[in-house]
Structure 1
Amino acid sequence: MSKPLSHQQESYEPDITSSSSRHSSVTSMLDDETRESTHEAVRLFLGQHDLVPWSAIFYKASLILQGDSPPEEIENITHDELQALHNEVQRKWHQPKALYFTILVCSIAAIEQGWAQTGMNGANLTFPKAFGIGSNSSHDNFLVGLINSGNYLSAGLLGAWLSDPINNRLGRRGAIFVGAMFCLLANFGAALSANWVQLLLFRIALGIGLGINASTVSVFAAECAPERIRGGLAVSWQLWTAFGIFVGFVANAAAYNLKSEAWRWQLGGPAIPTIPLLLTVYLCPESPPFMIKHSSRYDRAFHSLCKLRNTELQAAKEVYSAFLQRRARFKLPPTEVSLLTKVLELFTIPRIRRATAAAYVVQLSQQLCGINIISFYSSTVRMTYCLRGSIGPKVDSLRCSDTICAFTPQIFSDAGFSTYGALLASCVFGFVNCLGAFPAIWTMDTWGRRSLLLMTLPLMAITMFAAGLSFRIPSESPAHLGVLATLIYLFCALYSPGMGPVPSTYCAEVFPLSHRVVGMSFAVATANFWATILSLTFPRILTALKSEGAFTLYAMLNVLAVVLVFLFLPETRLKTLDELDEVFSVPSRVFMQYQLTEYLPYIVRRYVLRKEGTSLKELTLEREYHELDQEEDHTEDI
């Protein structure tokens, strides 16, 4: 195994996940860390953490973790407990209602996130004229672009980074509550704005709420879910964000007939999901890892897990496993460090630095993949809105910076659709985006995060390139609209199960518990930073390269995203924290070398040359990492 890390490098915390694959590592902890008998060690643990009434349950849990005998031979174990242990593998989706209720509450937050993104997309048709900034002047174009990008700027610069101290102070549920309150007030305030300055301020406030929730909700869901379905449940963020986008498109179309006041309803509508979110978030159990990390309250973590797991035995097994991991890892009592120190450790501690690099790559790849060209292309609304709904003179002004599937009317309006017809076509796009996310629920934990990206990104590049070529079809031909729309819908269908849900799922699990929220904050800030850059640069790209060239450019960036994912993203499917520590203990240079010299030749032999009996040599720490010194690790890694 790899050499032990220094005390500074061991300053991150273990997680709570259930897996039979952890038995061997926990067994060694029992042998190395405790000289007392297993029962005596359990007795001391129960006495220290007010868990004595559950002694029989924890004794059985300790024997399961020790792994000396199969569960069937453990004294006093019940049939229901054996069945629950069996179902962890055979019926992994058979979980308590409280777990699915928690995921449902997280999904409400995602709906608000998606709806807020598309609300402004529809409001762009009317609010500039209402505030007297609807001309094609550079001044008005800048103000409209600033208002549109205001929530992304504040989400990346404020909301994402505020999430860590708010989580530390109030917990996961408290952070979601605060984020939802920001969103509620900001959406209502935006709808009631009397001038563009007020609207900009409320957009900034909205970004703070969206940033807090984007950094917290996926982490909360991942920490509550069993590891075997962690990926599938974490997909709920993207799935319900896509549903929120679809609802936003429908709401935009529904508000169309309100004419000059439509923008108020379109901006106020996203407040609707925040109300049930505020009412239900404290009905969910708090994150068990959070309670252990911040207060060492194993008793509260146990009671929370009893609601999230099918039996008390499963909850006890996870809690006691977390205790053993924590005690084995920390030679000295851990101390809470400042936010600035945590941010610095994202780039200084090798294991965390590699997770940071992987999170950055996956978030950057999502921005590069081309979904934004659809967003910004459609949002470069080359028309002015008049009360009769006709299409006025064409202009080139950025009207929206929505970053996830915000497909609005431009290509349809260019083909002769009315504004309302183009809004309905946008609803179809939102529906495809939502429907396409469903396969990820089952494939995320079977095919894997990295595999989903490597399968879908090349196809996305092809469809994006073909969409660019479709602009050569004469615009007066019916085939122009049909081919282009079909390719864009196909691109979205490929994006939704892969590049759409993977980044948030991946980033929520790759960081150790002590740096998980601040790591997720970095990931959210990364996504919003590049979304802002793209929103500011795309109009010039479109002017310089035209539509065909812009689509072709993003097809090439898709290929770049494939290369980045192939070289920098280790697989995390079904990995426990111990296994992820080992995965991210491999230096990036070694991982890249393995990808190029072992994995790539295997893919060619197996799937291109179709050679039978082809095998892949696994990348193991014993074979590769053991020979490297920590000094080499610091100088040669990313």
Structure 2
Amino acid sequence: MNVRDDALRATAPVTGLPSPAASRRLRLITIIATFGGLLFGYDTGVINGALPYMSKDLGLNPVTEGMVTSSLLLGAALGAVAGGRLSDARGRRRTILALAVVFFVGALGATLAPTTAVMIVARFVLGLAVGGASVTVPVYLAEISPAERRGALVTRNELMIVSGQLLAFTSNAVIAKAGSESGGVWRWMLVIATVPAVVLWFGMLVMPESPRWLASRTRFGEALEVLKQVRSAQRAEAELAEVSALAVREEQEKLGGWQDMRSTPWLRRLMSVGFGIAIVQQITGVNTIMYYGTRILSDAGFASDTALTANIANGVISVLATFVGIWLLGRVDRRPMLMTGQLGTTLALLLIGVFSLVLPAGDGRACAVLAMTVTFLAFQQGAISPVTWLMLSEIFPMRMRGFGMGVAAVVLWLTNFVIGLVFPSLVSGIGISDTFFLFVVAGILSLTFVKLYVPETRGRTLETLEAELRARFS
């Protein structure tokens, strides 16, 4: 039987509506697992408001500010590939449990850091957890979700990421207002992250393992029991038959790591597409706004306290836009949605650069820049980010899904790291306008890449999609 026959067989319909209990179980699994996304969002967003206070206490300069911010991103790059490999070897659930512990240790270490060096190390540890969660949680959700709900459920993790960022922005503003005159106010901002880490650990203790990971280890009986928790019995059995057939095939082909990727041309081509999707998400410059939004608004003309409060608007629009993105993913193809997001973010960045260049400093320029950052985030969080994490969780073969997404996420986090590290120096050296014009050029290149190379993934089971991608890139 050839690949085309496999694809046709994989599209055979499975019937049977899930019981209310199965639907509730699936919702609970999604809520608990996405606490990893909440931690991802909080730990990446909290630096936005904490950095100005931390700079005074620790004596940071533009270079060390970049190091404190980007050390998390460097850790995330390592955590992504390590988390991907660990989740393939030991299971998605066990990996998320381990990540909850790392989140807790990293947050506590950053809270208590007495020096810049300790802060950089603690932020690196947090990055290990952030990177691991960025890979493992979407894969876990993709593998446990039914095909028709996969887009909505996987992107709940993106919703929790931006909710974590909003929580960080809001708590930063409240804590700063309440205790800005006292030393170490930033420590209170950082310690909040320990609470969701505890919730994630206790919650995952009673969650099931991914049925597709169990099948990849030929534990078919256990996989069926998990599927029956979140599907009708009829559908669970049909889905297991499909997954089991693919697991046997991949076991015969020994798909699973670097050696397989190097020796299999279609996997190499697919991995390059994954790298491109990861880079596209980051070179919009989204995290310059998420990490340095308060600084950008201050430079535009807002007072420091006003900038900290105004930055909450960025968090609010990110959450609202993600709700819109989840709704769109059930109705619109992924590829055109990604291209629309790229076009919108590029235009918004162009206008930020223009306004910063031609408008005089003051409230007028500050409000114009704020309006464009909000517009930028509406397109980024409503289209680009949800599609990116969803597609990366979909496109890789079952036996190496964690590894493949982990390697792609390394590229994403390294791109993020470089941007986070050099952004303060770029703004200091060439100015805010020229810095954002560089991102405009990158946006045009990204739009071209998506149009030429990114495949459509909507409306297929993971097994059908794998067969189609194998045929396309072979």
State the TM-score, normalized to the length of structure 1. Answer: 0.69
Partner residue, 1:25: 9
Pairs aligned (count) = 471
Closer, same or farther in 2 for the Cα pair 1:109/1:261, shift >3 Å?
Answer: same
Amino acid at match of 1:304: V
Partner residue, 1:84: 17
- State the Cα deviation string for residues 480-503 of structure 1 (Å, max 9, x = none): 222222122111111111111111
Contact 2:283-2:442 at 8 Å conserved across structures: yes
State the TM-score, normalized to the length of structure 2. Answer: 0.91
Amino acid at match of 2:237: A
- Is residue 96 from structure 1 mapped to residue 11 from structure 2 by the alignment? no
Partner residue, 1:355: 270
Identify which of 183, 203, 208 aligns with 2:103.
183
1:50-449 pair list within 5 angstroms: 84=17, 96-131=23-58, 133-134=59-60, 136=61, 141-157=62-78, 159-256=79-176, 257-258=178-179, 259-294=182-217, 296-309=218-231, 311-327=232-248, 329=249, 342-372=257-287, 374-375=288-289, 405-406=290-291, 408-414=293-299, 416-449=301-334
- Is residue 452 from structure 1 mapped to residue 337 from structure 2 by the alignment? yes
Larger Rg: 1
Amino acid at match of 2:128: I
Identity of aligned residues (%): 23
Closer, same or farther in 2 for the Cα pair 1:354/1:325, shift >3 Å?
Answer: same
- State the Cα deviation string for residues 447-496 of structure 1 (Å, max 9, x = none): 12211111221122222212221124432564322222212211111111
Amino acid at match of 2:186: W
1:484-523 pair list within 5 angstroms: 484-523=369-408
- State the Cα deviation string for residues 256-303 of structure 1 (Å, max 9, x = none): 132321111112111121111111112222110111112x12111111
Contact 1:357-1:568 at 8 Å conserved across structures: no
- State the Cα deviation string for residues 9-59 of structure 1 (Å, max 9, x = none): xxxxxxxxxxxx9895269xxxxxxxxxxxxxxxxxxxxxxxxxxxxxxxx
SS at match of 2:41: helix
Aligned partners of 2:239, 2:99: CA distance in 1, in Å?
A: 30
Closer, same or farther in 2 for the Cα pair 1:334/1:471, shift >3 Å?
Answer: closer
Contact 1:464-1:555 at 8 Å conserved across structures: yes
Closer, same or farther in 2 for the Cα pair 1:198/1:435, shift >3 Å?
Answer: same
Contact 2:348-2:373 at 8 Å conserved across structures: yes
Aligned partners of 2:188, 2:116: CA distance in 1, in Å?
A: 16
Amino acid at match of 1:251: S
Contact 2:25-2:230 at 8 Å conserved across structures: yes
Once the 2 structures are TM-superposed, how far is the Cα of residue 83 of structure 1 from its aligned partner? Answer: 5.7
Contact 2:7-2:468 at 8 Å conserved across structures: no
Q: Give me the CA root mean square deviation.
A: 2.7
1:534-573 pair list within 5 angstroms: 534-573=419-458
Aligned partners of 2:107, 2:315: CA distance in 1, in Å?
A: 21
Aligned partners of 1:417, 1:462: CA distance in 2, in Å?
A: 23
Partner residue, 1:594: none
Amino acid at match of 1:290: W
SS at match of 1:487: helix
Structure 2 stretches lacking a partner, 5+ long? none
Closer, same or farther in 2 for the Cα pair 1:300/1:262, shift >3 Å?
Answer: same
SS at match of 2:345: helix
Contact 1:163-1:215 at 8 Å conserved across structures: yes
Aligned partners of 1:478, 1:265: CA distance in 2, in Å?
A: 30
Aligned partners of 1:146, 1:449: CA distance in 2, in Å?
A: 35
Partner residue, 2:356: 471
Which protein, 1 or 2, shows the higher relative CO under an 8 Å CA cutoff with sep ≥ 6?
A: 2
Aligned partners of 1:420, 1:540: CA distance in 2, in Å?
A: 23
Amino acid at match of 1:262: V
Structure 1 stretches lacking a partner, 5+ long? 5-20, 28-64, 72-81, 88-92, 376-404, 589-632, 634-638
Amino acid at match of 2:17: A
Once the 2 structures are TM-superposed, how far is the Cα of residue 441 of structure 1 from its aligned partner? Answer: 1.4
Once the 2 structures are TM-superposed, how far is the Cα of residue 179 of structure 1 from its aligned partner? Answer: 0.6
Closer, same or farther in 2 for the Cα pair 1:418/1:154, shift >3 Å?
Answer: same
Amino acid at match of 2:295: Q
Contact 1:98-1:284 at 8 Å conserved across structures: no
